[in-house]
Amino acid sequence: MVEKEGKIWAIGGGKGGTGKTFVTSAMGTYIAGKGKRVTLIDIDIGGANLHSFLGISRPKKSLTDFFEAGASLNKLAVKTGIDNMSLITGDIHSLASDNIKFTQKLKLFRHIMKLNKHYVIIDLGAGSHNNTIDTFLMADKKIVILEPEITSVENMYHFIKNALFRKLRMSLREYGFKDIVEQMWERREEYNIKSLRELIDSIRVNFSHVGDIIDRELSDFKLCLILNKIRSSDDILIGSSMKSIFMKYLGVDTKFAGFVEYDDSVWRSVRERRPFMLNYSLSRSAKEVEVFTENLLKGKEIKLSRN
């Protein structure tokens, strides 16, 4: 029997270069090592490079074959050289991300959900395009990767704000209230609305019949946060700060799963064509990956010591 344990994880965050692909490959390697069947999906269309972090050649088949030839995802999955783990690459040659039709996207989501794996981990591309956001929203576990620098923080906040706003609009549209969100946001000065959380609260107050719908539809919008490339203990505090910001301005519950230090071994591992978690399994960074992956598996967050 296939395990039902929130198997689809999406790794996002908005900005490129924060380490989403590294985290995806490292977590997948660790989980596969625990005997779980894992499929990684590199859905960074036009810039798919997850295979490089696994030390394998670019797969000849990709999601191009899914969209254009109707190939099943199972037939697109290639071996990674790591027991229990396969890879599907999203290197689509003839389609840009914004040219994938809505029906194509829904078909992809249905097929992802049917994959007979314990875990499906999706490496999202950069940016906040609707296709990227919808893939993030589809996941059982929504994971965001943050680098401790201002542009990364700004891009992540923008990404999560867009995702929550889209989730809200799409949910209310299904119940025939598609215009409420746009109208309230356009009149936000009149309603003294300064944040998305205040918008949601205002809708609850002014449209009481919609409140239960919002609560039900947004109940699964929870985040898991991972800090990457930290260089000091002060950087770790950014994780706690982002938890507070997401709750204060968006009303989003966030678990700070953990962090990993900046480590030159990451790019050396790519150059040596060896998965980081195998090549540097005894490194401090590998142990940090193990900690936050275990937290994600168990629904926990890191315990920070207070000095």
* pLDDT for the residue numbered 90: 83
* pLDDT for the residue numbered 179: 86
- Burial profile 124-159: b = 16 or more Cβ within 10 angstroms, e = fewer: bbbbbbbbbbbbbbbbebbbbbbbbeeebbebbbeb
The structure's pTM equals: 0.92
Percent of the chain at pLDDT > 70 equals: 93
Residue 60 reports pLDDT greater than 60: yes
Every domain of the chain with CATH number 3.40.50.300 lies at: 8-148+222-298
Residue 29 reports pLDDT greater than 80: yes
The 10s digit of each residue's pLDDT in 178-228 is 788 888 889 899 889 999 999 999 998 888 889 889 999 999 999 999 999
**What does the alpha-carbon distance between residue 189 and residue 174 come to, in Å, rounded to a whole number?**
27
Contacts 24+ apart (CB under 8 A), 54-59: 54/25, 54/29, 54/80, 54/81, 54/82, 54/87, 54/275, 55/81, 55/269, 55/270, 55/272, 55/273, 55/274, 55/275, 56/80, 56/81, 56/87, 56/273, 58/89, 58/91, 59/87, 59/88, 59/89, 59/91
Residue 95 reports pLDDT greater than 70: no
Strands 38-42 vs 119-123: parallel, antiparallel or unpaired: parallel
Name which of 45, 5, 44, 6 is nearest 25 in CA terms. 44
Query: For domain 8-148+222-298, is the CATH number 3.90.1310.10?
Result: no
Residue 94 reports pLDDT greater than 80: no
Where in 128-237 does DSSP place strands (E)? 141-146, 223-230
**What does the alpha-carbon distance between residue 105 and residue 247 come to, in Å, rounded to a whole number?**
30
How confident is the prediction for the chain on average, in pLDDT? 89
* pLDDT for the residue numbered 306: 54
Query: Is residue 92 a contact partner of residue 67, using CB atoms and an 8 Å limit?
Result: yes
Name which of 79, 84, 137, 146 is nearest 106 in CA terms. 137
**What does the alpha-carbon distance between residue 12 and residue 135 come to, in Å, rounded to a whole number?**
9
* pLDDT for the residue numbered 98: 56
Structure tokens at 305: 């010591």
- Could you give the 3-state DSSP secondary structure of residue 206? helix
The 10s digit of each residue's pLDDT in 105-154 is 899 999 999 999 999 999 998 888 888 999 999 999 999 999 999 999 99
Mean pLDDT of 235-256: 95
Residue 96 reports pLDDT greater than 80: no
